[in-house]
Amino acid sequence: MFYFYINFPTFKSRTILIHRGECGDCQNGIGKHNIGSNEKGFWSGPFKNLDDADSAMKKLQKKFKNPPNIGNCTCV
């Protein structure tokens, strides 16, 4: 499974990364601090494969006037 995280305060200045569910930063959408989504951001997923996660991220990116950069975590 794959996920990505959108951090509201920094999403335009940092690259949004796709993570594998088992990644230490992702932990199946609960994050490394075990709080999951909150007022500072949200995890999107799970996506069955990398292509689905990439497609969803690109659709979201189109909604922004100045879209953030996107990429893959080193776990991918």
**Model confidence over 15-43: pLDDT tens digits?**
889 999 999 999 999 998 888 778 888 89
Confidence of residue 65 (pLDDT cuts 50, 70, 90): confident
Average pLDDT across the chain, whole number: 88
Q: Which of 75, 72, 70 is nearest to 15 (CA)?
A: 70
List the one residue out of 54, 55, 6, 4 whose CA is nearest residue 29. 4
Q: Looking at the predicted structure, is the pLDDT value of residue 53 above 90?
A: yes
Residue 9 carries which DSSP code? T
pTM, two decimal places? 0.85
Render pLDDT for 6-16 as a digit per residue (tens, 0 to 9): 888 776 777 88
3-state secondary structure 13-57: CCCEEEEECCCCCCCCCCCCCCCCCECCEEEEEEECCHHHHHHHH
